[in-house]
Chain A
Amino acid sequence: MKLSSGLEFPPDKQALLKKARRLEWITLAYVISATVVVGFVLGQSQAMKTAWMDDLLSLIPILVFLIGSHISQWAANDRFPFGYHRVTSAAYLISAVALTSVGLYLLVESAIKLLNAERPTIGAIHIFGYDIWLGWLMIPALLYSMIPAMILSRKKLPVARDLYEKVVFTDAQMNKADWLTEAAAIVGIIGIGLGFWWADATAALLIAIDIVNDGAKHVKVAFLDLLDHRPQTIDAKHVDPVNDRVKEAIINLDWVQDAQVRLRVSGHVLSGEAFVVPASQSDLPLRIEQALEQIRALDWRLQHFSITPVVSLEHRSP
């Protein structure tokens, strides 16, 4: 049996992976266009600036996935005997920290503008011979940056779930609910039009808080993965049932007297081991190989599992 299987995704998952990549490429093109559009009508609005930064930052999870899902499929070699599965987790953590930092910066900047009672000046833009208030252009720009994102996110969720792809899943879940922040920006602009100068900085503050909140969620997910946390469901709400299923399958083997199982997440795949007290010492290698095949059939993610026979479980660290 080879040290590692090499290919991360089985054939049926490959098709899903292609779909996920296609969705993310579409999202990438769309986000870049939305960033350009919103960039044109920024003006001096802090809310617009924050919403624009939010758009720019959303490029990070997309790139992490597109590049990471490519590299994570490289075969293991001498330098990287465990393969490249964790490249996504590492890149994910770095980008989540970057995202949160920018969010914090925007939060402080918006709060300062509010406290200094800075009033945003938004004048007219001259188009086709008419003078239009820039605010009237900001609103459709925001709608353009909001609505397609929500639609794309809904499409990505089931695909990400089936691929155990946390970057796409977490990002899509947060973008699905983004209409709140974009609505805040729109309300902010209308507020300025009605003469409430503080509406802009307040909306910006709310958007920045949302960015920091999202960033913190991303950091937590990435961090726990790198700390070898017990596998959870993709929405991080429940313990993944695979933990119990593996334990049961091992314990129910006729040649196993007692066993202890531990699993952790490596990108899309799970790795781990079972410490097994065998009932008898005969035919152990064959029995172990058969057991491993059985375990791997339980879940496509169980690609790096090993069984270690031990004399007793007593001195095992938990």
Chain B
Amino acid sequence: MKHLLWLLALAFLAGCNFPQDPSGTLERVKGGVLRVGISENPPWTILVDGKPAGIEADLAADLAAELGSRIVWVHGPEADLIQALHDFDLDLVVGGLTQDRPWKQQAAFTRSYIETIGRVGVPPGLTPPAHIEGREVLVRPASGLTKALREKKAQAIPAEDLQGSGQLVAAEDWELSRWRYRATPDELVKKQHVLALPTGENGWLMYIEGFLQKRKSVIRKQLYPGERP
């Protein structure tokens, strides 16, 4: 019991630096280099003339500014970036990642900083139907919304151009909001958005989560500019 108390005291001595990173990430990036992996996924990450932009790219840039560190952007497909995190070759990965991804063991994820919902919407001027059962709904094939549409017994029609169609479409709520489409009450898929970092770097994780907490409302305004508070 006495030894336990000594350990607890030691923990407090480590003080505000608790918990610490086994690989010392937080200490290293402060005033140093922040290696950020980025995979393109609008609006979270967009490459404009090869330069990173978008909601999560901006978050990373602000994070670096707060830490006083210089960002090194590493481009690549998501899978490779996650592997690099696993090998401790990167400090952070952004790319519109969501919580339901299959690589839970490879990397650590922050808690969700925003939730987006896939919905069905109608062009401005039209009234959203009460049910979508049996109705034709246009949807992008890789959007992840097709299965949910089928489960709700709607007819999913694959299409790439949704906004110009003038029909019932399925898209993310923030997209519908930007096109000024009105949504039905159906919730197709909920996505929890997260950032990825190396496993076990708990101090680094705590810092980023604190940072995200402060920025939550700003991020919401960026994504849903017309939303009433």
Contacts and interface: CB of A to CB of B under 8 A. Distances in A.
Pair from one complex:
yes
Interface in A185-203: 186-187, 190, 192-197
Interface in B1-43: 1, 4, 7-8, 10-11, 14, 18-22, 24
Interface in B89-125: 105, 108, 110-111
A255 to B, nearest CB: 62
A89 to B, nearest CB: 37
Given A123-B209, A131-B210, A194 B202 contact: no
B20 A124 contact: no
A309 interface: no
B226 interface: no
Contact of B14 (A118, A123, A193, A197): A193
A196 B203 CA distance: 12
Chain A interface size range:
20 to 34
B199 A121 contact: yes
Contacts of A190: 7-8, 10-11
B202 A193 contact: yes
Interface in B160-217: 199-202, 205-206, 209-210, 213
A283 to B, nearest CB: 67
Contacts of B18: 133, 193-194
Contacts of A197: 22, 200
Contact of B200 (A120, A124, A126, A194): A120
Interface in B63-107: 105
B206 A194 contact: no
Nearest to A131: B210
Contact of B206 (A120, A131, A192, A196): A131
B108 to A, nearest CB: 4
The 6 closest A-B pairs by CB, nearest first: A119-B200, A195-B20, A121-B108, A193-B19, A197-B22, A123-B205
Interface of A: 118-124, 126, 131, 133, 135, 183, 186-187, 190, 192-197
15 contacts: A119-B22, A119-B201, A121-B199, A121-B205, A123-B110, A124-B206, A124-B210, A133-B19, A135-B19, A135-B202, A183-B1, A186-B7, A193-B14, A195-B24, A196-B22
Given A124-B206, A192-B19, A194-B11, 19 more contacts: A119-B199, A120-B200, A121-B108, A121-B199, A121-B205, A123-B110, A123-B205, A126-B111, A126-B213, A135-B19, A190-B7, A192-B202, A193-B19, A193-B202, A194-B19, A194-B20, A195-B22, A195-B24, A196-B22
